[in-house]
């Protein structure tokens, strides 16, 4: 029996991940941003913040998990694809192999999900130590997986489309970083003006933030899940198309 | 299959980058089982032609079929029968030699994988280094590993783009031996080179390419016959290299007798053909 087409793509990323995992720098870089935000907003500023839902730390932690999974899924795949395509030129062995573009896409996305999920586990572990109100329900797990899937897909699109590593970083600074701050990670969205809300509700991380804080799947949660599924499908199809149309 | 069967056919192939025609109406056919060389200087269009044949680049015009598959309409069919040694050693530098071949083998559904990987690493004398990461390899070792990778899936057609650039003479000869062995095993080999010696040593037929156009195509012997058998060359009083193409050795000696400078008489090579056709040198 032969392995499915996506498996070697996924395996390649995991072999790289295994090597990086045992380097101190990797764990530090995966943890540092959420921990700084947790320290600054949760333990610092957060002590004087009161929200209707109760403990601010319990509100903040799921948002940080969503943010961390977004950063790690997206950055890993966008950077890896960009460097492998333009610098090491190892992406070309996928293009010249008899596997479907969808297989390459699925392999890359699964690898991005694994990386994002692992980074999130670190934040979740910190969450359990930090707040007694922090809990994981089914919506939390579904939102986390969907977020990893969605942003890995976006990572493929950016990694395939950009012409330099600098350009990849520009997209990250222009879209990913603002999204981390304005999608309900640090504060509830209910009291924002309608015009601002309309923009923020277009952003996928907003819907991860909504779903990940639910204790059960209610109407709002299911609506957000639908948005995440839609985004994921669009990104998967778009990424597969870019791989299929790859030409030098 | 009959020995003269065409395995690759290009018709009016064109590819343009930023308004510059990298490949300009190339038409040629390559026979099954031959070693075919594309010879020309850097920037002539050899690599672009190879990229089109190996489905890495889409042509702007013309038709290219490889093993009966159209490169634009049936790229996966092409990918299932080719092995590629690109100009650069596109290996995973942070993975081991074994892992590099393992991933390639999985992509190409090689079975039995472990045994095949071992055989190919042994073929290029890298089995003992299988667990070493590729970033620690020398240029020659990387080149051998890329060649082993290209042959791992037992391709019917092997493409080599400037295979021996940067290699020392001993490793170059080893690589040539593997290429000849590859042909004996029944494969078709297409290589690009700007080394005259490589084209003459390996190729059954050579296409000479300049500014994206195929300007000559024949066996090395027949191409050289078009410029005569011998060259008389010397450095004149102003330090310029002067060359006279001669039909045979007798004519060469006759011409050499009338020259006061120190002369060299040598057999013609493919560079003489290129110079005669284009007025430029290859290397």
Using an 8 Å Cβ cutoff, are B182 and B147 in contact? no
- Label residue B3 by pLDDT band (50, 70, 90): low
* B94 interfacial to chain A (CB closer than 8 Å): yes
**Nearest-10 crossing angle of helices A138-161, A101-130:** 130
Indicate whether A1 belongs to any domain: no
Asked if B108's CB is within 8 angstroms of A12's CB, the reply is no
* A196 interfacial to chain B (CB closer than 8 Å): no
- Residue of chain B whose alpha carbon sits nearest to that of A92: B56
B18: left (phi over 0), alpha (psi -120 to 50) or beta: left
Q: Domain range for residue A188?
A: 6-244
- Residue of chain A whose alpha carbon sits nearest to that of B96: A15
Nearest to B108 among A16, A90, A98 (CB): A98
pLDDT digits (tens, 9 = 90+) for A154-183: 999 999 999 888 888 888 888 898 898 888
Indicate whether A202 belongs to any domain: yes
Indicate whether A224 belongs to any domain: yes
Whether residue B2 has pLDDT greater than 50: no
- Complex ipTM: 0.87
Helix ranges (H only) for B22-96 are: 46-53, 75-79
Nearest to A12 among B79, B92, B108 (CB): B92
- Helix (H) / strand (E) element for B69: namely strand B69-70
Whether residue B72 has pLDDT greater than 90: yes
Give contacts of B135 with chain A, Cβ < 8 Å.
Answer: none
**pLDDT at residue B1, as a whole number:** 44
Region of poorest pLDDT, from A62-71, B108-117, B239-248: B239-248
pLDDT-above-90 percentage for chain A: 57
Residue B201 Cα, gap to closest chain A Cα (Å): 28
Work out the angle at residue A29's Cα, subtended by the Cα atoms of residues A26 and A34, and round it to the nearest 5 degrees. Answer: 135
Strands across the sheet with B213-218, in order? B82-85, B157-161, B188-193, B35-39, B205-210, B213-218
Residue spans per domain, chain B: 6-220, 228-267
Indicate whether A212 belongs to any domain: yes
Higher pLDDT, A115 or B4: A115
Using an 8 Å Cβ cutoff, are B280 and B207 in contact? no
Q: Among residues A68, A31, A66, A64, which one has the least CA distance to residue A46?
A: A64
Higher pLDDT, A3 or B80: B80
Nearest to A7 among B54, B95, B106 (CB): B106
Give contacts of A94 with chain B, Cβ < 8 Å.
Answer: 107
pLDDT-above-70 percentage for chain A: 95
Asked if B91's CB is within 8 angstroms of A92's CB, the reply is no
Higher pLDDT, A126 or B94: B94
Task: Give the HSE-up count for residue A13: Cα atoms under 13 Å, Cβ half-sphere.
Answer: 28
Chain A interface test: which of B57, B103, B149, B161 (most A C-beta within 10 Å) = B103
pLDDT-above-70 percentage for chain B: 98
* A18 interfacial to chain B (CB closer than 8 Å): no
Give contacts of B84 with chain A, Cβ < 8 Å.
Answer: 96
Length of chain B in residues, anyone?
Answer: 283
Q: Among residues A134, A163, A150, which one has the least CA distance to residue A42?
A: A134
Averaged pLDDT, A64-89:
93
Nearest to A94 among B51, B84, B107 (CB): B107
Token readout for B39 is 């010879």
Question: What is d(CA B105, CA A98) in angstroms, rounded to the nearest whole number?
Answer: 11
What total number of domains does chain A contain?
1
Q: Which residues of A99-124 are buried (b: 16+ CB within 10 A; e: fewer)?
A: bebbbbbbbbbbbbbbbbbbbbebbb
Higher pLDDT, A40 or A109: A109
Q: What distance lies between CA A33 and its chain's CA centroid?
A: 14
Residue B204 Cα, gap to closest chain A Cα (Å): 26
Pick the CATH number of B6-220 from 3.40.50.300, 3.20.20.150, 3.20.20.210, 3.30.9.100: 3.40.50.300
Higher pLDDT, B82 or A185: B82
């Amino acid at each position: 029996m032969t392995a499915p087409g996506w498996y070697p793509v996924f395996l390649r990323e995991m072999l790289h991940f295994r090597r990086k995992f045992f380097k101190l720098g990797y764990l530090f870089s995966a943890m540092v941003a959420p921990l700084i935000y947790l320290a600054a907003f949760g333990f610092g500023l957060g002590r004087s913040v009161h929200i209707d839902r109760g403990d601010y730390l319990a509100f903040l932690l799921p948002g940080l998990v969503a943010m961390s999974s977004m950063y790690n899924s997206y950055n890993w795949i966008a950077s890896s694809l960009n460097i492998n395509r333009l610098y090491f030129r190892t992406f070309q062995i996928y293009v010249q192999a008899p596997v479907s573009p969808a297989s390459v896409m699925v392999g890359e996305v699964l690898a991005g999900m694994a990386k994002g999920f692992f980074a999130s586990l670190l934040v979740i572990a910190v969450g359990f130590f930090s707040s007694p109100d922090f809990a994981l329900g089914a919506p939390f797990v579904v939102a986390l997986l969907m977020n990893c899937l969605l942003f890995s897909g976006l990572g493929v699109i950016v990694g395939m489309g950009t012409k330099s590593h600098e350009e990849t970083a520009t997209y990250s600074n222009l879209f990913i970083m603002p999204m981390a701050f304005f999608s309900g990670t640090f504060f509830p969205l209910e009291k924002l003006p309608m015009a601002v809300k309309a923009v923020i509700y277009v952003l996928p991380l907003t819907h991860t933030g909504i779903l990940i804080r639910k204790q059960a799947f209610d109407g709002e949660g299911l609506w957000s899940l639908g948005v995440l599924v839609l985004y994921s499908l669009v990104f998967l199809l778009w990424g597969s198309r870019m791989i299929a149309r790859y030409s030098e | 299959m009959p020995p003269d069967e065409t395995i690759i056919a290009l018709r009016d192939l064109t590819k343009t980058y930023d308004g510059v025609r990298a490949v300009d109406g190339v038409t040629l056919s390559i026979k099954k089982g031959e070693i075919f060389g594309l010879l020309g200087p850097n920037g002539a269009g050899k690599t672009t032609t190879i990229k089109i044949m190996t489905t890495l680049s889409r042509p702007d015009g013309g038709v290219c079929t490889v093993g009966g598959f159209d490169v634009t309409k049936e790229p996966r069919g092409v990918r299932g029968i080719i092995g590629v040694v690109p100009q650069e050693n596109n290996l995973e530098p942070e993975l081991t030699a074994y892992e590099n071949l393992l991933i390639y083998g999985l992509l190409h559904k090689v079975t039995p994988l472990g045994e095949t990987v071992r055989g190919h690493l042994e073929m290029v004398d890298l089995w003992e280094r299988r667990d070493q990461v590729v970033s620690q390899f020398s240029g020659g070792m990387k080149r051998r590993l890329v060649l082993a990778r290209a042959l791992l899936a037992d391709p019917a057609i092997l493409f080599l783009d400037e295979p021996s650039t940067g290699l020392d003479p001993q490793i170059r000869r080893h690589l040539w031996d593997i290429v000849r062995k590859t042909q004996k095993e029944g494969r078709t080999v297409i290589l690009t080179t700007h080394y005259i010696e490589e084209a003459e040593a390996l190729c059954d037929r050579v296409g000479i390419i300049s500014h994206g156009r195929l300007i000559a195509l024949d066996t090395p012997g027949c191409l050289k016959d078009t410029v005569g058998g011998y060259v008389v060359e010397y450095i004149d009083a102003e330090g310029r290299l002067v060359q006279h193409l001669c039909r045979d050795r007798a004519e060469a000696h006759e011409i050499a007798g009338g020259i006061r400078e120190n002369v060299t008489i040598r057999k013609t090579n493919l560079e003489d053909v290129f110079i005669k056709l284009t007025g430029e040198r290859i290397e």
